[in-house]
Every structure is written in C-alpha cells, then in structure tokens.
Structure 1
Amino acid sequence: MNTNMDRGKSEVLIYESNGEGQLFAKKTKAELAPAPSSANARVIVVDDRERYQEMDGFGASFTDSAAYLIHQVLSAEQRAELMPKLFDEKRGIGLSVIRNPMGASDYAREFYSYNDLPEGETDPALERFTIAHDEQDVVPLMKEALQLNPQLKMMGSPWSPPGWMKTSGSMIGGTLKEEWYATYADYFVRYVQAYAEHGIPVYAVTPQNEALFSPPHYPGMIFPAADQARFVREHLKPRFAANGIGAKIFCYDHNWDKPEYPLEVLEQASDAVDGVAWHWYGGSSSAQSDVWAAFPEKEVHFTEGSGGEWIPPFEQAFSNVMRTGIGILRNHSRSFVLWNMALDEENGPTVPGFGNSTCRGIVKINQQTRELTYTLDYYALAHFSKHIRPGAVRIGSNSDDAVPTVAFRNVDGSIAVVLFNDRSHSESVEVRVPGYETMSFGMEAKSALTLAFGVRD
C-alpha cells in the first residue's frame, strides 16, 4: 500500500448534496458553508489504525427490464454517455458490483428460466439449458461494463428454478422437488460456465433470492434454511468443486429481520458457504454485525435495496440511501448494491400480471421520448462509489445518529470520508484525518458530503 502520497500538495476533493438542485456537486474548501458559531461542533476523528472489512464495491442490477431499456431503447449515443457515467471511475462513479437475476425476476418482460420446457417434460441432463435470453441484452452490457471497469464483479441470484423442478410446476410459488436438488446444482454450474464462455466471470451466487418470500404474481420460491443448507452442502458446493468453479456462495439473500435463517445455514453448512447476503426491506443493518460476530470468518454483502415512490424525494429518498448506506458499511458489508439499474416512466417493465410498480431505478429511461434521467439513487451511490474503490479497507471514524460517517483507505493510500447530517437543522462539523489539515465547516440539514484526501483531480 502506498502511504507516501504528496499530502501537502494534494488538495482534498469535496462533493456535496443538499437538495434536488445540488446533487454530488464538486466544491472547494472555500465554497463549503462556514461552521455555525457553536461550541458544540461535531468532531469526526478518522483513525486508520482501526481496520475492518475490505470492499468489493457498489452497484445495481442488470435485470431483464434494465438491460432492455439501456441496450434497446436508448440510442447508441445515449448509451455511450450512460455506461461510462455508471462504470468508469474517472468519467463516472465507477460502479464495481453487479448482482443479476438468473432468469426472470419481477422486473422482466416475460417469465423465463434457462431451461424452460413444455408442461410435463423434464430435462435431467440439462440438454436444453441456454442463456440465449441474456445474450440479447445482459451479456453485451456486461461485456461493455467490464471494459470500462475491469475490476467489476458479477453476482447471480435466481428468483426461481425452472418450473419443472418445483412442486408448483411453475416459476411462481412452490418449493424445489427433492429429486431435482442435484440437477439444480448443475444448473448453477452451467450458468457459470455459459457466462465464462463470453469472458464474464461469475464472482458469486446465492441459492435463492428472498428465500422466505413466495410472491403470488412473479417468480419466487420458499427455500427453508435447513433445505438451503443441505442443497449447498451436499450439492452446490461439491458440483462447483468438481468443475473447478471458484465462484463464492452467499446464503440467505433476504431481509435483516430474520437473522436466525443465515445463522441456521451457517451452523449446518459453514464449510460450503462463503458469506451472507442481505436486503433492507425489514429489520436493521445491525443484524449484519450480529451474524458476523457469530461467524467472523464469513463475508457480509448487501445485495438489494430499492428506492421507490413510497419514499418521496429529496427527503426522505436521498436521505434513506445515505443513512442506510453508511449503516450497511459500518456493519461489515463488502458491497452495497441497489436494485434496477434502469426503469422506465411507469417504473417498469414488469412481468405480465405484476400490477402497479413503485420502484425507482438508478436511471429513468422514458420509452416514449427516450429521455434519460439520472435519479437520486445515482447521486447517492456516487457519494460512496466514486472514491471508495475496490480493495479499500474501512477504517475507524466516530459516528452517531445525528451525523453518521464512514471512512475508507484505498489501496493507493487515499482516504475517503462520507458524512450525512441527519438532523433537521444545520450542524457544525470538524473532520480530523491523520496527515491532513483539520477541516471545519457547516452541513445543512439532510445534506451529504464526500471528502477525498490524497486524490488528485
């Protein structure tokens, strides 16, 4: 690690968001608000002697809907603008983790798996396995994203196995039939191998998206903890090993409110599981640390959180991503992945029969006008992703409910500090980073700052 940067000559880079009119705006020290006259300034001390998790990065998902909008609805010129703004570290925000559905999710134009068969048929040898659907839009975008950011890591998560493997005979509802456990493990092997043939490595998989939720109108499946542990221990991990596949396996992939599920999986299949994947739709991010404390050798990942119309902008929507994102990182997560990379003017497309969608994408692409809009989620992710790079290690910083913070040291020695004023009034803040001049400034209510020390513009 290079810790001998020319600190005296390196100006801190500052990015501020304080409302819809100013999102991730670059500032100089002189342009920061002066510290309010107060003897009660919040002093943030960064301590790089404290070391925590290493980061894989930040990102979102190329769902079928998102990939279609970016690859087919946008013009080539618009796509040439968007992709660098998503994945290039210099020209954009350098997203570095993609978590893609393995087959259809709720955000797909149709129901599909990688092995769809006529009713009543089965395919034990997976002779009809194909990722042809992904080759239309997802694969080309993944290749382009990898060119823009070679450090990009892709995770895969199924919403459902092929219907013929399930008790429901459909991608909706049901459970995985006992006789297809081994075949379903081979299904994962084929997925990893098929993407590898396109030059796209699969970094990790989860056995099931939201294993405790079986939606009545889009793909899903209940996968009880004991069954998931047995599937991973007796089938998935051995099939990966037999085929020389090094992709990691993260269990659970669901909300913070049921930590007993990943604990049960880890207790029963610890040697076959590399970590735990979490979502934010219930509970608190502290659950990540509770499970990590019981199994500190296992990785922590946050794999899905969506903003939507249920959280109106700017406050509370932007604030929610900042507040929750800091909490996710302070609770040992190596990744912070939001949901759809893109949605349209109707918050879709969604699978037939889904009904009204209220989710928000990282960008909005109007199918009628082709207008491209960067949403609040894009700028909130920017506060983290732009200067907390893959391989960065979280270091110490004091934090509280009023001004939560998180700090990282990058592999090049630079330090990134993210702050959010969660109060309804301005706060006086002082930031102390070893080797740098102390910074004192004011933060408006519900505003965010990223301070990048030791980085040249």
Structure 2
Amino acid sequence: MQVWLSTANGEKQLARETDLAFDVSPNAGTVIDIDANKRHQAMIGFGAAITDSSAWLIDKHMSAAQRDKLLRELFGRGDGGLGIDFTRLTIGASDFSRAHYSLDDMPPGQSDPMLAHFSLTPKIAGTGAEEVLPVVRAALAINPRLKVMASPWSAPAWMKTNGSLLHGTLKYEYHTAFANYLVKYVDAMEAAGVPIFALTVQNEPRFNPPDYPGMLLSAGARLLLIGQQLGPKLAQRERAPLIFDWDHNWDIETEPLALLADPLANRYVAAVAWHCYAGYVDAQTRVHDKYPDKDAYLTECSGGDWKPMKDDGLLTITRRLLIGSVRGWSRGVLLWNLALDENHGPHAGGCRDCRGLVTIDSKTGTYTRTVDYVALAHASRFVRPGAQRVESSEGNKDIDNVVFRNADDGSLVMIVANSSSASQRFVAHEAKRAFAYTMPARSVATFVWR
C-alpha cells in the first residue's frame, strides 16, 4: 500500500511515506470498516475555477514556458500533476475580473432582447475575459476529459429591475431573453472549442454583493426560469449541458428544496450545487435523501487569510470538502480561484484576501503552491473520473475518512484526516485484511492499494 502524507505545520507536503503491508488483525485502535462492494456516486473530478483574474495572470504575466509548465502541472496527471478534471467559468464578470461587464452590455436606457450585441469578448478591454478561452483550450489540450461548468454573477444590466450589474433582480419580461443569453453562451463556447458540461442560472442567488456584480433570484424566479424557459430550450439539444440549481451555501436548504418540489422545474434540474461559506455540510445529505435522483456538487469554496482557512486550510478543506461534501453525495468538488497574485488579486470589489491554488508573482511569472493545492492534491492526484465512493464507517470525532474505487484499475483510494493536536492510530478493515497507521497530529494522508 502506498501512502502520501501532509501535515498542517508544513513539515510534510504530499510526502511519499514507507509502503504499508496488510495484516489479518493488527493492534486495535479507531476502527474504519470498508465495504468496497457497496458503491455510491461516481466522481466527475476535483478542481478550481478559471476566473478572469486567474486567466489574465496565467496568460499575461507568465512566459510561454512558465505557462506551459504550470498548466501541465495543474491539468496533467503524470509526473506529479495535480490532475484537475473539473473547472468553473464565470458568464460575465465576478469579483475576480479586472472590470465589471456582461456579455451583452448596452448604453443606459437601451435594451437588446434579440441579443444582437452578444459577444464572448466584452466591450470593455482588459477585463481578463479575453484570456479565458486560450487558457481553457490549453487546459483541454492537456486533459481532454476536463469538465467545464459555468455560472453567471448577473444578467446584463438592461434585463434587471435597477438597470445595473450590481444589486437588483431579473425582470420577469426578460426571462426569455436571459434563457436565450445562457443558451447563446453555451453555443458560442462550443463553437470556440469549449463544451459546457453544466450551467447554473445564478451564482449565490440569495446574496446581494455591495461592490461587484450580483443578482437576487428567488426559488420562485428560478423555477419559472428553468421550468418554462431554459429547461425546455436545452432539452431540444442533442448535447445539452446539465442544469444545477442553487449554487449557494449550505445554510438555506429550503431554497433548492422549494425548486425541486416544483414538478416542471424538477424535470430539468440534474443536481444541486453548494458553497461552503455558511451552514453545515449535512444539508447536502438531507436534500439528497429527499431527492435521491438529484446529484450534488460542491461548486465553490475559497481559501484565504481568514480563520479557519488562514491557519487551518489543510484540515478545513480536507474535512469539509474532500471528505464531508463527498460523503454528502458530491460528485465534484471545486475550490475558487485557480491562481491569484501576491496581492490576492487582481479583483474588482469583493474578496480582498482570497487565495488561489497557486500564487503567481506578477513581476517574475514564477509561482508557488498554496495549502489549498496540497489539500486538493490528496484527492485529485489519485481519484480519477468515474471512481465511485465506497462504503466506509466514520471513525471518530478526530479521524475523518472517505474511500473510492477507481473504475479503470480497481484500485482503492482512502483519504484520512486527523484534526487532533495529538497523533491518532486507526485500523482499516477491507475484505479479509486490515492495515494500521498512526496519523501525526493535524495531518492528512492518502492511501492507495489494489
């Protein structure tokens, strides 16, 4: 059995440890029972969002050689690659754009219901949007299996009640135009060589950002938009993206439940997308238990310089996302920015202390890997697309785990986190064999065996 270990104090980061041997009955400790024949959801993958800021830094602040090296490390799997198989794009600007824009901006007082002025290239130059397509296409060339989802932060201003990208909500008379806007985006991206795997209709629809694009969109508005407009339009297509609802925190599970209770909208929604910033991960399981035919995805969680992420990122990301969200039926896990600079940017409003998977020095183009990268690697390097989560008992209050079976070679991958300030010993039983391991204080380990 192969073992990779990381410790929260940074002394070990993805360190290959001495291989373990199986035994019939090792000394007892915390017991984890694994039933590899009892299989659950199949995984799409793990990754982070290619925001405008991330793409701009990669394309404009790195040499061709630096850029190629970074993208191969992030999206490749061999030679220590991170193995990203899942990513997210923004439809128009987010706070991690260099300016605010939509894909169909019009002068104040004018509208464009036929979307004659729609363009993937914003009218405002230098937003970072121009660099997204080249970076995504380069990532797809490295990993053709990469799944790309996309989310809008706001409808174009002329579709909204306040005529602004900030605040407001979607006017009912523009539901058709907004659905067509999203379909037009899918078509344009497909034509540009980037097939869209899934869409949400609004990022964080219950949040009203003070200084970057956002749009309140109630469950009632979403169910009408999806059930009457977007769902039927996409259903006519041979290769339509999936529709995910919610795309917001664990704390208001009544929102996706209200939409899924509507028979028409339910018909078109494939999954519920979740964010990590409020509430508790067990909301995912409660929603899944009520609608077991709907998948779950963790579509955004950012590291950064705030507690617990600042000084506990390794354990927080592993326990809450890679283990907790996946045990709560997630088929994919996405962190937020793929890359940011040494000043946590660039950004236009919003988060001033977020962290990417890598930090790119905007002067030299060199990059450093963050703790978010290390945590994600414990899953993304070893769990391949199509792997299924298998049954495993929960351990104890300090020891968390999740186990997968890779579809291509039958190998088992077990991720274990010890959040205690003391070392913890556990014994894992699988079939008629077992192994024991003592986890150092505040550490994460990945175990791989066939």
TM-score, structure 1 normalization? 0.92
Regions of 4+ moved over 6 Å: none
Aligned to 1:404: 400
Q: In 2, Cα distance between the equivalents of 1:335 and 1:248?
A: 14
Matched letter for residue 273 of structure 2: A
| Secondary structure in 1 matching 2:73 | helix
The correspondence for 2:390, drawn from 379, 392, 395, is: 395
Identity across the alignment (%): 40
Where do 1:181-330 residues align within 5 Å? 181-268=175-262, 269-311=265-307, 315-325=311-321, 326-330=323-327
1:390-445 Cα distance to aligned partner (Å, 9 max, x none): 1011001112321100000011211100001111100112223337x532221111
TM-superposed CA distance for 1:13, in Å, is: 2.3
The SS at the match of 2:16 is strand
1:432 to 426, 429, 433: 429
Displacement of 1:23 in angstroms is 1.0
Distance 1:125 1:209, change over 3 A: same
Give the letter for the 2:278 counterpart.
G
Q: Could you tell me how far apart the structure 2 residues matched to 1:253 and 1:98 are?
A: 14
Q: Distance in 2 between matches of 1:263 and 1:90?
A: 41
Could you say if the C-alpha distance between residues 39 and 439 of structure 1 is closer, same or farther in structure 2, counting changes exceeding 3 Å? closer
SS in 2 for 1:107: coil
Aligned 1:91-106 pairs, distance under 5 A: 91=79, 92-106=81-95
Cα 1:453/1:314, change in 2 over 3 Å: farther
- Counterparts of 1:439 and 1:78 in 2: how far apart (Å)? 42
Shift of 1:370: 2.8
C-alpha distance in 2 between matches for 1:144 and 1:28: 36
- The 5 Å alignment of 1:158-169 reads 158-169=152-163
Contact 1:95 1:152 in 2 (8 A): yes
Measure, in 2, the Cα distance between the counterparts of 1:316 and 1:52.
29
Q: 1 CA distance for matches of 2:130 and 2:414?
A: 40
1:149 offset after TM fit, Å?
1.3
**CA 1:271–1:414 in structure 2 vs 1: closer, same or farther (change >3 Å)?**
same
Cross-structure match for 1:4: none
Distance in 2, matches of 1:90 and 1:236, equals 39
Among 330, 335, 352, the alignment partner of 2:332 is 335
Given candidates 3, 14, 17, the residue that maps to 1:24 is: 14
Q: Name the SS of the counterpart of 1:22 in structure 2.
A: coil
Q: Deviations over 1:113-142 (max 9, x none)?
A: 111111111111111111025772111111
Q: Is the 8 A contact 1:315 1:446 kept in 2?
A: no
Q: In the superposition, relative to structure 1, how do residues 15 and 229 fare at CA in structure 2: closer, same or farther (>3 Å)? A: same
Residue 121 of structure 1: which of 110, 113, 131 is its match? 110
1:404 is paired with a residue of what secondary structure?
strand
Paired residue type of 1:58: F
Residue 136 of structure 2 is aligned to residue 142 of structure 1: yes
What's 1:13 paired with? 2
Contact 1:20 1:314 in 2 (8 A): no
Aligned-pair CA distance for 1:315: 4.4
8 Å contact from structure 1 (residues 394, 408) kept in 2: yes
> Within 2, Cα distance between the matches of 1:279 and 1:17?
25
Whether the aligned pair in 2 keeps the contact of 1:174 and 1:221 (CA below 8 Å) is: yes
Distance 1:135 1:167, change over 3 A: closer
Answer yes or no: is the 8 Å Cα contact 1:428–1:440 preserved in 2.
yes
Q: Is contact 1:17-1:448 (8 Å) kept?
A: yes
* Gapped regions of structure 1 (runs ≥ 5): 1-11, 32-37
Give the counterpart letter for 1:60 in structure 2.
Answer: A
Corresponding residue for 1:56? 44
Q: Could you tell me how far apart the structure 2 residues matched to 1:57 and 1:270 are?
A: 24
Match in the other structure for 1:376: 371
Structure 1 residue 154 corresponds to structure 2 residue 135: no
Q: What one-letter code is carried by the residue in structure 2 that aligns with 1:406? A: V
C-alpha distance in 2 between matches for 1:26 and 1:145: 27
Aligned 8 A contact 1:206 1:249 in 2: yes
Task: Find the partner of 2:420 among 412, 416, 423.
Answer: 423
Deviation (angstroms), 1:15: 0.8
* Residue of structure 2 equivalent to 1:8: none
Q: Please list the CA deviations of residues 63-99 of structure 1 after superposition, one character each: whole Å capped at 9, or x if unmatched.
A: 1001101111111111121111111111302111111
Amino acid at match of 2:291: F
CA distance in structure 2 between the partners assigned to 1:120 and 1:422 by the alignment: 55
User: Unpaired segments of 5 or more residues in structure 2?
Assistant: 123-127
1:394 corresponds to which letter in structure 2?
Answer: R
**How far apart, in 1, do the equivalents of 2:445 and 2:30 lie?**
14
Deviations 1:327-381 (A, max 9, x none): 0010000011000001111111111xx2760111110012134331110001100
**Normalising by structure 2, what TM-score?**
0.93
Cα shift readout 1:222-263 (whole Å, capped 9, x = no counterpart) = 000011011000000111123445210000100000000000
For residues 328 and 312 of structure 1, what CA distance do their matches in structure 2 show?
Answer: 17
Preserved CA contact (<8 Å) 1:330 1:406: yes
Q: What SS does the corresponding residue of 1:29 show, helix, strand or coil? A: coil
